[in-house]
Amino acid sequence: MPRSRAVAPLALPSALAVLDRLLRHYPSPDTELVYRNAFELLVATVLSAQSTDRRVNETTPALFARYPDAATLATAALDDVEALVRPTGFFRVKARAIITLSHQLVQDHGGAVPGDMDALTALPGVGRKTANVVLGHALGVPGLPVDRHVLRVAERIGLTRETTPEAVERDLCGVLPPEQWTAMSDGLILHGRRICRPRPLCPQCEVRDICRYPFKTAGRAALDLDAPAAGAPTRRRKAGVPIVEASRTPAPDKSGAYVSRTTKADRRAPKAESRTPNAARRSSSAVGARKRGRR
């Protein structure tokens, strides 16, 4: 069983420093999903899985015009809902999920969206991220949604070493006051979409002076003070095996002996005669026959 490595706790000023810089760039961070009430945000968030907020915003007006609340959507025909949500992808699964969750909202909560994590995650198609989105944005309950952008950016900046949504949520919530949870999530999501992409736009980043991302901080102190300083990567090699340059230095073969490596110049040079004795005799006979024929 691998031995666990002690990790220093994250410092509160570090998380607040990141949030302060994000708020300079995004003064009022918010979800980019368009909604008018908690029910619309709940449905829109379910539809946003494996889709984009823009595509969902283009789809939901027609859906909510026909089914404005849980009571009407709970009795909707599956084929009709599938046709309406088709642009968001996985439309069969999503249509069934929003119809079923609407039916459960009517049956268990009188058609209202509950303001409780356990009750929300008990609904079909609703996970912890979706529940946090609804709680933090539509119901005024502190919540920190963790999507792929929050996962990438929080670890890259140095706010966490974790790689699962639940663990990242726990780390961030542990170093921020509850009233800042939703703002931190929205700021990290916007930053991940616009600046801190998989290939980040570091020169435009508001957090670059305290970010621990390699090749960017140039040795400045990282948020995680026990993390190695950023800088050029070291070349890894097996112990006892010297690093050699191709086409200049001999490389070891399987037995450990050093042999010369062929270069392009070597391949262009004429090859030495390597024919067998039989082939040489056949060639000599052919030459003799040709000479006799000319006589």
DSSP 21-89: HHHHHSSS---SS--SSHHHHHHHHHHTTTS-HHHHHHHHHHHHHH--SHHHHHT--HHHHHHHHGGGS
Q: Which of 30, 80, 108, 147 is catalytic?
A: 147
Beta-carbon count within 10 A of 111 CB: 16
Across-strand partners of 258? 252
What is the Cα–Cα distance from 72 to 76, expressed in whole angstroms? Answer: 6
Active site residue 129: yes
Contact of 44 with 35, CB cutoff 8 Å: yes
3-state helix, strand, coil in the chain (%, to 5): 50, 0, 45
What is the Cα–Cα distance from 76 to 80, expressed in whole angstroms? Answer: 7
Buried/exposed code over 219-230 (b: 16+ C-beta within 10 A; e: otherwise): eeebbbeeeeeb
Q: Which of 129, 171, 186, 224 is catalytic?
A: 129
Helix, strand or coil, per DSSP, at residue 126 = coil
Contact of 137 with 182, CB cutoff 8 Å: yes
Active site residues: 129, 147
